[in-house]
Amino acid sequence: MALSQGGKTRDGWSSRSAFILAAIGSAVGLGNLWRFPAEAGANGGGAFVLFYILCVLMIGLPILLSETLIGRHGQASAPESVRRVAKASRVSSHWDILASMGVLAAFMILSFYCVVGGWVLYYIGQFMADIFASGVTGGAFEGRPAEEIEALLPNLFGNGILMVGLNALFLGFTLFFVARGVSGGIELVAKWMMPAFFILLIAITVYGAFGGAFSQTVSYLFTFEPEKLTGPVMLAAVGQAFFSLSLGVAGMITYGGYVGRNVNLGSTSAIISSADTAVALLAGLCIFPIVFAAGLSVAAGPGLMFQTLPHAFQEMPAGSVVGLLFFIMVGFAALTSSVALLEVPTAWLIDKFRFVRPVSASIVAGGAMILGALAALSFNELADWHPLDFIPLFAGQGFFDVLDGITAKLLMPIGALLTALFIGWFADRKLVDLENGLGGWLHLFWLFLVRFVCPIALIGILVVGIFPGMFE
């Protein structure tokens, strides 16, 4: 659908449902399937999960709506949309720094996110090879010792050429869809991959419910034990709610710029955040029964998906097929998110320099490929290269961790904090009221959250990120 802004037309979503699917695809990714189960397992289950849901409602949803309304009003790239809201509000155009930081964060995250996407491709290949070698009825990697299965990822880290190649392949898939445009590419991947993702997620969850320790999982995830709700657990839940919705990377500002005037942003944002939360919970219900049934630990942290789960699939009937479908599902989620990450700086280049879309997307992807190669090699050839050793916050960290740290600890929370301050205190009230689709007490409650609750929580995320030992 073509949108009109200032006498010019630009590509846009063909329908409200297309925007919702694309926005869900942007939010749903490795943060839900990899980070949420790892965080829930490491933080004691139910207390973390229930406080996380509260944080999504009180922090994630208000910021999500704030970002989207900026984009819909501006109908441009993220920085230009902020400038247009600032101009209409008669405040400084320098507020565009919140979106500029988001554009930079999206570019940096894209570079190392595709490295992890490459790991997913690697595991898809491993399970396919296992099926061809052993058939579809037995457990995954049947006959191979657990140590060998858990060593798959470390062995990949030791092959720098393969790591760089898989990163480039995943980034190439991402570039293909973004270069095709909003309605012809980004919307296409969302319309096909998100329904397929949900079908696979529900199917594997049902499989785990019948074949795994489902009742134990439900008890673990949803039994509230007040003594486990400690300060670190609450801060972890706040951070997960923030990162799960991909806030602070200007993604929803950019996607909001393609939304028509007939879409109610309040109800649409509620649908997006609800779907994102549902996916996180389903991920727990999908993964933990398999892990519990195999007698393995759910507190494996980041290794839960790539080391513990493949071992658990070894114990299951048709474990190779289930494992293959699981990682295909993860690949779908990772791709819809990487597409959104690439679109943010691509839209900025199109607006700033008037490059055509394929050229803009290729320039961004080329830069991300270089950074991604350095991030990939930091697990092997560049393992002893610590580029920011002179900064205490990043001392001793490899390039992958530096990129992750700069974005997660600094750029994303600062960008979201500035968004809350801008919309809550400086943007024109009539403009905000017109765009947010809320009314009555809902509008007042949302404004209270954006003005007071969100800034306090985001400052907490920022402080914990910079001083991680403060609250231990």
**Least confident interval from 19-28, 101-110, 205-214, 405-414:** 205-214
Residue recorded with tokens 């134990």: 216
pLDDT, one tens digit per residue, over 124-133 is 999 999 998 8
Helices (H), 180-308: 187-211, 214-222, 231-244, 251-256, 265-293, 303
pLDDT at 119: 97
What residues contact residue 273 under an 8 Å CB cut-off, 6+ apart? Answer: 27, 56, 57, 60, 61, 64, 245
In this prediction, residues 415-438 reach a mean pLDDT of 96
Query: Between 80 and 134, whose confidence is greater?
Result: 80
pLDDT tens for each residue of 439-460: 889 999 999 999 999 999 999 9
Q: Report whether pLDDT(300) > 80.
A: no
Q: In this predicted structure, what is the pLDDT of residue 17?
A: 94
* pLDDT tens digits, 312-336: 888 788 889 999 999 999 999 999 9
The pLDDT value recorded for residue 299 is 77
Topology of domain 17-466, CATH: Hydantoin permease (1.10.4160)
Query: In the numeric block, which tokens belong to residue 222?
Result: 């949803």
pTM strictly above 0.85: yes
pLDDT of residue 9: 66
Domain limits, the chain: 17-466
Q: How far apart are CA 66 and CA 52, in angstroms?
A: 20
Q: Give the per-residue pLDDT at 74.
A: 97
> What value does the mean pLDDT of the chain take?
92
* 154 confidence band (pLDDT: 50, 70, 90): very high
Bigger pLDDT: 302 vs 218: 218
For the stretch 201-228, pLDDT in tens is 999 999 888 876 889 999 999 998 888 8
- Give the orientation angle of helix 265-293 with respect to helix 187-211, to 10 degrees: 40
Q: What Å distances lie between residue 80 and 10, 70, 105, 347, CA to CA?
A: 14, 10, 17, 10
- 440: helix, coil or strand? helix
d(CA 169, CA 405): 24
pLDDT confidence of residue 1: 55
Q: Is 88's pLDDT higher than 80?
A: yes
State percent of the chain over pLDDT 90: 71
